[in-house]
A = this chain, B = another copy of it.
Amino acid sequence: MSEVQSVGVIGLGSMGMGAAKSCVRAGLDVYGFDLNPEALEELGSYGAKAVSTNAVEYAKELDAVLVLVVNARQVNTVLFETGLAAALKPNTPVMVSATISAEDAKQIENKLAEHRLVMLDAPVSGGSAKAESGEMTVMASGATSTFEALQPVLDATAAKVYNIGEAIGLGATVKVIHQLLAGVHIAAGAEAMALAARAGIPLDLMYDVVTNAAGNSWMFENRMKHVVDGDYTPNSMVDIFVKDLNLVSDTAQDLKFPTPLSSAALNMFVSASNAGFGQEDDSAVIKIFDGIELPGVEK
């Protein structure tokens, strides 16, 4: 197989847009696909070869595909319901970077194989800033030949690529377990800050103590700042962790394994979503606690 020179990026949200721009800067021929016309215009003016709401019309131009949509349902829609998989050249490598379950990853691999396409199970992390700078973390599994085929795309978009093994599903599982920690840490931060508020501890001082001590986490430092500032403008929403901790729950159920902490954290995020905070920043999970006053939040 010849070297990948063109790549179709499907899903131009905060991660996909950054990855697509990083591919443009690396000299790849980038085709961007999304339903949002503003995103298409942004990538078009950044130097994409073409942008469109319809990937199928460019299928024969693509040496590789990077899918950066939100969930497994969207992956299935953009690859199969649109007819894209049927239209791609045989052996085109498809890098699936949505956060999905191992079971979903395996089903998608099987459906791609029916079209003689190969898959890299390649969830990403790092946030939009790292995507923008081409420094995502990729936790991937798949055949060595698929890693090799996608090397130009990985070089363009990732600072660190973990090769977890050959079996599709391993990449998805590592990402899901990572999200277990991320979600529990946000919920634990909220529980601690809510208890501090109830005890009359100034939240800015509590934040300062924790971030300078062994109780700190990446998520506490990043998200509880939003609580201190009373700013729940969403970077990542409560409903994203409803989804991701449900993936943890699905994974645990498949393995018949107990997850007491992430189960409790899931219940907290679902309670927050049910109370009307699903579209707010995920730190808004703290709003499930009654009887406290929070900066910038009217009761």
Binding site for B on A (CB under 8 A): 102, 125-127, 137, 139, 160, 162, 164, 170, 173-174, 177-182, 184-185, 187-189, 191-192, 194-196, 198-202, 205-206, 208-210, 212-220, 222, 248, 251-252, 255, 257-265, 267-268, 289, 291
Contact = CB atoms under 8 A, between A and B. Distances in A.
A291 B252 CA distance: 13
Contacts of A258: 289
Q: Which 3 A-B pairs have the closest CB atoms?
A: A217-B217, A181-B215, A184-B188
Contacts of A257: 194-195, 198, 289, 291
Contacts of A137: 209, 212-213
B264 A178 contact: no
Contact of A195 (B162, B180, B189, B212): B180
A91 to B, nearest CB: 28
A200 B261 contact: no
B201 A173 contact: yes
A222 B213 CA distance: 13
Nearest to A257: B198
B217 A216 contact: yes
Given A177-B201, A252-B195, A261 B184 contact: yes
Given A174-B206, A262-B191, A218 B214 contact: yes
Given A102-B199, A260-B267, 7 more contacts: A162-B208, A164-B202, A181-B192, A188-B261, A198-B255, A199-B251, A216-B217
B199 A255 contact: yes
A217 B192 CA distance: 15
Given A260-B268, A261-B264, A267-B260, A215 B289 contact: no
Contacts of A194: 257
Given A179-B215, A181-B215, A201 B162 contact: no
24 contacts: A125-B213, A125-B215, A160-B212, A173-B201, A177-B196, A178-B209, A181-B189, A185-B185, A187-B261, A188-B262, A191-B260, A191-B262, A195-B257, A195-B259, A198-B255, A199-B251, A214-B218, A214-B219, A214-B222, A216-B218, A258-B289, A260-B264, A260-B267, A261-B264
